[in-house]
């Protein structure tokens, strides 16, 4: 092969490389365009699903979970289309198979994290509580601030933020005090023995219904004798509040109810005694008193 033939061969190789590079660049541009289109499409669909579901309910956790899941599926489909465009069908199968094995190994190694993740998915669909509900979980009582797929954040009455793993919520009893918006409270009033009990109970009932925030109608207050103590006849006043009424919070309603009942009874001349201790001498022996 002479020099001229060598030069011609180099030209052919160079032109072939240029042509292959052009095809690669064009393919990358097309793949990039496909990816950008699907990213915008997934974002638009996520926003559309979020708006539609939020108009039908107020379960933000479930809405975000569904919207994020749909967007993830769209992105995975876009990557699959791009791989097939480059003729990498075998690579797609290998990635899926490798992802399954990797997920098994990681799931076994990070058992607690995976357990909380699955528990979060169950909570998202089961919905035993919502943001703002007052709940008690494992002895922790407070208002739900945030829900995610790993833990649940609760704000206690003394201002503490408690993060409870979702798996613990699934495995243990959960008490929701405000799931339907209604909550009952009790006030115990001790009446002096020998007073007019019926009149006192009527005054209590007529007073409690006038307190702002106390519900009436089907959930009207009740006044019943609950106990015969050593010093008083105990009367239990049960009233209901609407926990969704932010203008009349529960502690304020309870404080106003107690003050209104006490003021009414004292104004009507009823004595509300404390604990009475009765002293008796043994065998009629006089009780010795030491003034010092």
Each residue's pLDDT, cut to its tens digit, for the chain (292 residues) gives 555 655 555 556 555 556 656 666 776 777 777 778 777 877 787 777 777 766 665 556 566 666 766 777 777 777 777 776 666 555 555 555 555 555 554 454 456 666 777 777 777 777 788 888 889 988 899 988 887 767 888 999 888 999 998 888 888 888 888 887 788 899 999 998 889 999 999 999 999 999 999 998 888 999 999 888 888 899 999 999 988 887 888 889 999 999 999 999 999 988 887 666 666 666 666 666 665 5
- Residue 7 inside a domain? The answer is yes
Assigned domain for 79 exists? yes
Q: What interhelical angle do 111-126 and 89-109 show, nearest 10?
A: 100
Does 145 share its domain with 204? no
Final residue before a domain boundary, out of 62, 80, 109: 109
* Together in a domain, 161 and 248: no
243 and 159 within one domain = no
The range of the structural domain enclosing residue 137 comes to 129-176
One domain for residues 31 and 102:
yes
Using CA atoms, how far apart are residues 99 and 191, in angstroms rounded to an integer?
A: 72
166 & 257 share domain? no
- Does residue 138 come out as left (phi exceeding 0), alpha (psi in the -120 to 50 range) or beta? left
Q: For position 232, which CATH number holds?
A: 3.30.70.100
Domain assignment present for residue 243? The answer is: yes
How many angstroms separate the CA atoms of 152 and 149, rounded?
8
Question: By the 8 A CB rule, do 162 and 151 touch?
Answer: no
| Same domain flag for 254 and 188 | yes
H helix runs in the chain, sequence order: 3-56, 60-85, 89-109, 111-126, 166-171, 197-208, 250-267
pLDDT of residue 65: 63
Question: Which phi and psi angles does 8 have, rounded to 5°?
Answer: -60, -40
Residues 151, 84 within the same domain: no
Cβ neighbors of 225 (< 8 A, separation 6 or more) are 197, 201, 233, 234, 235, 236
Tokens describing residue 283: 């065998």
Give the domain CATH number at 9. Answer: 1.10.287.1260
3-state SS assignment for residue 156: strand
CATH classification of the domain holding 150: 2.30.30.60
Number of compact structural domains in the chain: 3
Specify whether 166 is located in the same domain as 221: no
In a shared domain, residues 171 and 186? no
Q: How far apart are CA 62 and CA 53, in angstroms?
A: 9
Considering the domain architecture, whether residues 169 and 239 belong to the same structural domain is answered as no
Residue 257 sits in the same domain as residue 190: yes
Tell me, what's the pLDDT at 116?
73
Q: Is 281 domain-assigned?
A: no
Among candidate residues 63, 81, 109, the one where a domain is terminated:
109
- The reply to whether 159 and 189 lie within a common domain is no
From the CB of residue 134, how many other CB atoms can be counted at a distance below 10 Å? 20
Q: Quick check: is 290 in a domain? A: no
Position 277 in a domain: no
For residue 275, is it within any domain? no
Residue 24 burial class via C-beta count within 10 angstroms: exposed 0-12, middle 13-18, buried 19 and up = exposed
In a domain, 274, yes or no: no
């Amino acid at each position: 092969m002479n020099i001229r033939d060598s030069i011609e061969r180099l030209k052919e190789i160079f032109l072939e490389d240029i042509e292959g590079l052009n095809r690669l660049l064009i393919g990358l541009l097309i793949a990039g365009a496909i990816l950008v289109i699907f990213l915008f499409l997934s974002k638009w669909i996520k926003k559309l699903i979020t708006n539609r579901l939020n108009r039908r309910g107020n379960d933000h956790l479930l809405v975000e979970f569904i919207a994020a899941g749909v967007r993830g599926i769209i992105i995975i489909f876009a990557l699959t289309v791009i791989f097939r465009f480059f003729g990498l069908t075998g690579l797609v199968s290998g990635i899926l198979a490798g992802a399954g094995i990797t997920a098994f190994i990681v799931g076994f190694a990070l058992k607690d994290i995976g357990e909380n993740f699955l528990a979060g998915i169950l909570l998202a669909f089961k919905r035993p509580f919502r943001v703002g509900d007052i709940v008690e979980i494992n002895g922790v009582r407070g208002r739900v601030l945030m829900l995610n797929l790993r833990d649940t954040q609760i704000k206690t009455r003394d201002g503490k933020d408690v993060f409870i793993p979702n798996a613990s919520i699934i495995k243990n009893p959960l008490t929701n005090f405000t799931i339907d918006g209604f909550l009952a409270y009790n006030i115990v009033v001790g009446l002096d023995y020998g007073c007019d009990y019926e009149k006192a109970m009527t005054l209590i009932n007529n007073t409690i219904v006038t307190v702002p925030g106390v519900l009436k109608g089907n959930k009207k207050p009740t006044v019943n004798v609950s106990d015969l103590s050593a010093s008083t006849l105990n009367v239990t006043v049960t009233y209901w509040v609407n926990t969704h009424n932010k203008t009349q919070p529960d502690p304020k309603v309870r404080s106003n109810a107690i003050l209104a009942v006490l003021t009414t009874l004292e104004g009507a001349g009823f004595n509300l005694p404390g604990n009475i201790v009765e002293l008796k001498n043994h065998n009629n022996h006089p009780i010795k008193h030491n003034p010092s």
